[in-house]
Amino acid sequence: MPALIETCVPATSTQETISRKYDVTQNGFLPSSAPLRRLTDPYYALWELLAEKLPELLERKLLRYIVDSSQVLSTDRLQSEEEWRRAYVVLVFLAHGYIWGGDRPSEVLPPQITVPLLKLAEHFDLPPCATYAGLVLWNFETLNNDSDFSDPDNLRAINTFTGTESESWFYMISVALEAQSAWVMPLMVDAIEATHSRDYAKMKKGLEQIIIAIKKMDELLKRMYEKCDPALFYDKIRPFLAGSANMEAAGLPNGVFYDEGDGKGSWRKLMGGSNGQSSLIQFFDVVLGVEHTGGADKASVPKVCPVSGMATEESTSGCPVSAGKEKNMGYHEKVRAYMPEPHRRFLRSLARMGSLQAFASTPQPDAEFEQVKELYQLACKTMGDFRCTHIQVVTKYIIIQARKQPVGETLNLAKASSASDGSDLKGTGGTSLAAFLKQSRDESYEAGRVPDQPAPGVSSEYAVM
């Protein structure tokens, strides 16, 4: 099996290697230090001013007017990677504010946003829209200059659409989830490598710790209720996170036209920002061997190139997937195009290393194997339980809210969702929400159903509760 960790002298730690090769830091998929708060070059002062005043401009419906009256700025003056990330955050907030910041969504994104945003997206090999990276990973600050990003009370979003604590808290819970699970990642890489040498100690250590990590994630996710108001989230925040794919009912039948000026441009259908784009959740799926193959995973995935957002028959050139392959991609696979490139490369490399699921499914005649197998089963159950908690959160913040009578005449995701009968609610990523989440939960539980063939006379201290 391909090795993720190089063998070299002197020995390089797993954390050092995944950081160097895949930009997986001591904070996991978060940066090694807090993101840049603003671009200091006066040339970009307008971008920063619009981002700072975005909630007010959206409330007064002035953003489109100001953007349309401004000039197109170049990305040529961006220097460091931190500046490129900051610019990407600013532009995706402005893009979604422009698209969804009126009584009806704008089907055209003007050159003032399109031109620099396409350059930024190309730099990161990310789609030109709001992604988990732009909303969460690169969009936070600490309140006391602490390097610990795992406490949401010590975090605040740099930019929001609404200027509310609810929106900031929504993003910061995700930042904390990412940070508090970072420590388990090198342990699980070691655990997968240990399947080839049958190093039971490393496998047991990794599985014991991933169970703890997922339980901590579960506890953190339940803290969403503390400072994020469900009605405010549904009516005011969530509509701005929506993409342009599968948004016909919300007013974007053709997606969004990215106008590059001088008669150039293209229609694009892109997913919106979603926690489904978290590399961390897919990391847990990969190391546990959770396979997402069912119909709900594919049924509502738009038939477009995941990076460009253009119809596959128009975008096979330069698209990271061929048209033929793309049509068979499920959401979990396709959404990787919305992750930073080093992170999705890490997930691909990890998937080629081997599988704890395969190891646990091949009975071995010793007691330690049974301990590993039962720990593996417990880890899958814990992941399924976490997804149950996620469903409960989604039910409170989206499904229940969608049953209420929509307020106002603005056409957006909230209005379209409330107008439906609730049977086919769309997530911001464009998926059929309830079916997709339930299927993901069931597939987590299913991964742990390995053959139950213990060696004769073997007992284990690790009983699945």
Sign of torsion, CA 152 205 444 286?
A: positive
Any idea which residue has 């795992």 for tokens?
150
Give the DSSP H/E element, type plus range, for residue 173: helix 165-180
3-state secondary structure of 432: strand
Structure tokens at 254: 């053709």
Residues above pLDDT 70, as percent of the chain: 81
Taking 90 as the threshold, does the pLDDT of residue 334 lie above it?
Answer: no
Mean pLDDT over 365-374 rounds to: 92
Instruction: Estimate the crossing angle of helix 367-394 against helix 433-447, to 10 degrees.
Output: 170
Confidence band of 308 (pLDDT split at 50, 70, 90)? low
CA distances from 3 to 204, 288, 406, 409, 426 (A): 20, 17, 53, 56, 39
Total-model pTM: 0.88
Looking at residue 84, its pLDDT comes to: 98
Burial zone of 452 (CB within 10 Å; 0-12 exposed, 13-18 middle, 19+ buried): exposed
Q: Give domain limits for the chain.
A: 11-23+180-228+274-292+332-451, 24-179+229-273
* Cα distance between residue 178 and residue 256, in whole Å: 31
CATH class, range 11-23+180-228+274-292+332-451? mainly alpha
Q: 412 and 105 in contact (C-beta within 8 Å)?
A: yes
Dihedrals phi, psi of 87, to nearest 5 degrees: -60, -40
Q: Which of 45, 53, 97, 92 is nearest to 73 (CA)?
A: 45
> Buried b / exposed e across 2-20, counting CB within 10 Å, b at 16+?
eebbeeeeeeeebbebbbe
pLDDT at 32 over 80: yes
**CA distance readout (Å), 152 to 103, 189, 276, 364:** 33, 27, 20, 43
Decide: 168 and 224 in contact? Cβ < 8 Å.
Answer: no
More confident residue, 416 or 351: 351
Give the tokens for residue 393.
């959160």
Which residue(s) pair with 264 in the sheet?
261
- Predicted local confidence at residue 11, as pLDDT: 41
Which range is least confidently modeled, 22-36, 56-70, 94-108, 304-318? Answer: 304-318
Q: Count other C-beta atoms under 10 Å from residue 290's C-beta.
A: 23
Q: Tell me the two tokens of residue 214.
A: 């997922």
Q: Which residue carries 């490399």 as its tokens? A: 349
Residue 215, φ and ψ in degrees, nearest 5: -65, -35
Contacts of 110 (CB under 8 A, 6+ apart): 67, 68, 98, 259
Residue 299 has pLDDT above 50, yes or no: no
pLDDT of residue 327: 52
Computed over every residue of the chain, the mean pLDDT equals 87
Asked whether 278 and 178 are in contact (CB, 8 A), the reply is yes
Highest-confidence segment of 242-251, 363-372, 382-391: 382-391
Q: What pLDDT does 90 receive? A: 98
Q: How do residues 281-290 score in pLDDT, each as one tens digit?
A: 999 999 999 9
Q: Is 390 annotated as a binding residue?
A: yes
Q: In terms of Cα–Cα distance, which of 246, 237, 232, 281 is closest to 390? A: 281
The pLDDT, as a whole number, for residue 418 is 58
Reported as a single tens digit per residue, the pLDDT across 407-441 is 566 777 766 665 555 556 766 655 667 788 899 99
With a cut of 90, say whether residue 293 has pLDDT above it: no
d(CA 144, CA 372): 41
Alpha helices in 76-164 (DSSP H): 81-100, 111-124, 132
Q: Are 292 and 439 in contact (CB under 8 A)?
A: yes
